[in-house]
Amino acid sequence: MSKIVEIDAVTKIYGGSVLAVDDLSLAIEEGEFVTLLGPSGCGKTTLLRMLAGFESPDRGRIRLAGEDVTDRPPYRRDVNMVFQDYALFPHLSVAKNVAFGLERQRLDRAEIARRVGDALALVGLADKAERRPHELSGGQRQRVALARAIVRRPKVLLLDEPLSALDANLREAMQVELKHLHEKLGLTFVMVTHDQTEALVMSDRIVLMKDGRIAQVGAPAELYNNPATPYVASFIGTSNLLPARISAIADGRALIAFSGTRCHVPAPTGSAAGQNLMVGLRPEKLRLATATDMAGEGRQILDVTVEESLFHGNSVRLRCAAPGGDILLVDCQLTQSQVTIPAGGASVRLAFNEADLNVFGADDRT
Amino acid sequence: MTRDRALRSVVLATPLVWAVAFMFVPYLIIFTYSFWLKQYPTFVPAFQFGNYLQLLVDPQYYQVLLRTAKIAILVALSALAIAYPFAYYLVFKVTSARLRLTLYMAVIAPLWVSYLLRAYIWKTILGSEGVINSFLVWIGILDTPTDIFLYNQFSMVVTLTYIFIPFMVMPIYTALEKIPRNLIEASKDLGVGPFGTLFKVIWPLSLPGVFAGMTFAFCLTFGDFVAPFLVGGPDGVMVANVITSQYGAALNWPLGSALAIVMLIIVLGIIELSDRFERSGRINLA
């Protein structure tokens, strides 16, 4: 595996003062599916547009397959983009849209026709070649945009919120389809999205961004299970973030107190007894304890009062109040329809494993 | 309720009555005249096609129609050649919205100046005592002022192009502004440079504006009689001038009317044609 994209200390400032991308470095391996994830304004789209060449960085370099492309215009870069609202040429047929980028390459007509045919067949639109874009549905336009971008066999395929304009069902189907397409083509995909589910389902690696910087990079499961900061924990999935305090530290393990309980966790680097910190606990890692469940062997028990229960069909989300006043969300999978759902006001015992706690240092409270 | 309805009728009827009384009725009168017969010293009611026939066989008349069409086409093309790059520059190159508005207004502002004055200006630029001649004499290219700039078809095309450029800039500007920016980005992303993008994306998508502007410039030129009068000279006579003289000195209203009807048909034909072009090329940008 070699590095196909290297982003080296790139900074982009808009209008002299708005820092869109802040000294960001990132390397992308060939054939990877990387997602740039983050809320709007985090700089993910700017970063993608800099890869495409629509924006130029104020500082830093961008290399593509080892070549410095920082100062090259978009039409001299071996990348192609799937635009958010597809950007299909309305005056051209589907086939002409797909052929658009090939006509500049020195290919003969037969070769162009063959490659356009292949690309359209790949996205399942071989029979729509002569249609105009406005005669197609949203999902079909999306496929045309995809065919148009892959037909030139770019080194990197850029996708700018490719599924955001589709309705929920279609979006889910396209997620899977895009993932399969990625596996089939072996191309490097770089996708921008603000939808964490999309990122989790599709990516090999997620780059979670915040304020123009990378908050955390890693495989979806790594970001979900080991979030580096409370921000990551709350952006990807849901997390109960609770203030905690270190009671004692010994042998690299800390005894922390929160929400009326005490746990042993690996001590965060540079922490000391008496320090305040933050712990995160995913709602599905908490479960209703039976009367025989006891604390011990890394298991902890919390006594809480149910304030509200929300029925989701396959699960129920409980909003519970811990003795200290902390609010805890608990997701219970309804694996059997006979499971009794605690009513509001009921006192219940919750069990969780210490290993499922995410401990954040006080300084990454954001 | 009835009062509302009455009010609505009045509001709707006023422009209708206006159009009928002051447009359709006069057209109808002219249409009727076009079949009358010239009989010295005036003309008498009749129904015959002699006037139209005369337009077809007498070179004096069909040539003036051809000349008018030629000048109208030249004006439309030269206005396009100037207006398109200008509108392109405004829409795609000027980044400051304020500068864009200022430049746009600078083009539109002459519309508030008297038409006569604007035509007259060119007399002072192109004339033998004019700016160009004075300059050429001053730098020594010419010994004496030349009259080649004024009173010919060239001076007509220059003057009319200047006068009708705003009508070309406005629709082209609007058409260019409507082109989604991401289509231009998509073109570049697909490896097509600025020129290719201009010819393959921007130009085709701006054609409705081009058609509209060309129609304006052509039709307005076709009916113009002031510019020929001021800067035209003997070989710059256009249809409208001939009509004027038929109604005036020649006292041949029937022939003048026939000419006016032919002119009306040509202009309506052009408008219809351009409308069809625009309709067939209309593209769903949404």
Chain B nearest CA to A134, separation (Å):
6
CATH number where A285 lies: 2.40.50.140
- A212 and A243 co-located in one domain: no
Average pLDDT, chain B: 90
Residues A37 and A165 reside in one and the same domain? yes
Q: How far apart are CA B257 and CA B265, in angstroms?
A: 12
Q: Is B26 on the interface with A (CB under 8 A)?
A: no
The pLDDT of residue A323 is: 81
> Distance (Å, rounded) from C-alpha A91 to C-alpha B281?
8
For residue B286, what pLDDT is reported?
43
Do the Cβ atoms of A90 and B190 come within 8 Å? no
Nearest chain B alpha carbon to A53:
B189
Q: Per the CB < 8 Å rule, is A134 touching B286?
A: yes
User: In terms of domains, do A302 and A278 share one?
Assistant: yes
Average pLDDT for B199-205: 94
In a domain, A365, yes or no: no
Residue A218 has pLDDT above 70, yes or no: yes
pTM for this entry? 0.84
CB proximity under 8 Å: A 326-365 to B: none
Instruction: Taking the CA atoms of A275, A276, A281 and A286 in sequence, report the sign of the dihedral they define.
Output: positive
Residue of chain A whose alpha carbon sits nearest to that of B191: A75
The model's pLDDT over A189-207, given as tens digits with 9 standing for 90+, comes to 999 999 999 999 999 999 9
Q: Write down which residue in A187, A216, A234 finishes a domain.
A: A234
Q: What pLDDT, on the 0 to 100 scale, is given for residue B283?
A: 60
Task: Say yes or no: A216 and A323 in one domain.
Answer: no
By C-alpha distance, the chain B residue nearest A152 is B190
Give the pLDDT confidence of A338-356 residue by residue, as tens digits.
667 888 888 888 999 988 9
A89 touches chain B (CB under 8 A): yes
Q: What is the pLDDT of residue B1?
A: 59
Q: Same domain, yes or no, for A257 and A207?
A: no
Q: What is the CATH number of the domain that holds A63?
A: 3.40.50.300
Start-to-end CA span in chain B (Å)? 41
What's the mean pLDDT in B196-200?
Answer: 94
Q: Is residue A296 part of a domain?
A: yes
Q: Give the mean model confidence (pLDDT) for residues A116-128.
A: 92
**Count: domains in chain A:** 2
What's residue B71's pLDDT?
A: 95
**Last-in-domain residue among A234, A257, A291:** A234
Percentage of residues of chain A with pLDDT beyond 90? 63
Is A289 found in the same domain as A329?
yes
Give the model confidence (pLDDT) of A290-307 as tens digits. Answer: 777 777 778 888 889 999
Closest CA to A287 of A308, A311, A310, A315: A315
Domain match, A219 and A249 both: no
Report CA torsion sign: B121, B127, B133, B134.
negative
- Under the banding of pLDDT at 50, 70 and 90, the label for residue A1 is low
**A230 lies in the same domain as A242:** no
Q: Does A50 have pLDDT greater than 70?
A: yes
Query: Is position A366 within any domain?
Result: no
More confident residue, A339 or B230: B230
Same domain flag for A206 and A287: no
Structural domains in chain B?
59-285 (1.10.3720.10)
Quick check: B61 and B242 in contact, CB under 8 A?
Answer: yes
Sort out which chain B residues have CB atoms less than 8 A from A76's CB and list them: 191
Instruction: Give the range of the structural domain holding residue A258, as residue numbers without chain letter.
Output: 238-360
Closest to B186 (Cβ–Cβ): which among A87, A132, A134?
A87
- Residues A87, A204, single domain; the answer is yes
Task: Tell me what the mean pLDDT of segment A91-103 comes to.
Answer: 93
Pick the last residue of a domain from A201, A234, A267. Answer: A234
Do A200 and A293 lie in one domain? The reply is no
Domain annotation covers residue A186:
yes
B178 inside 8 A of chain A by CB: no
Please check whether residues A228 and A339 belong to one and the same domain: no
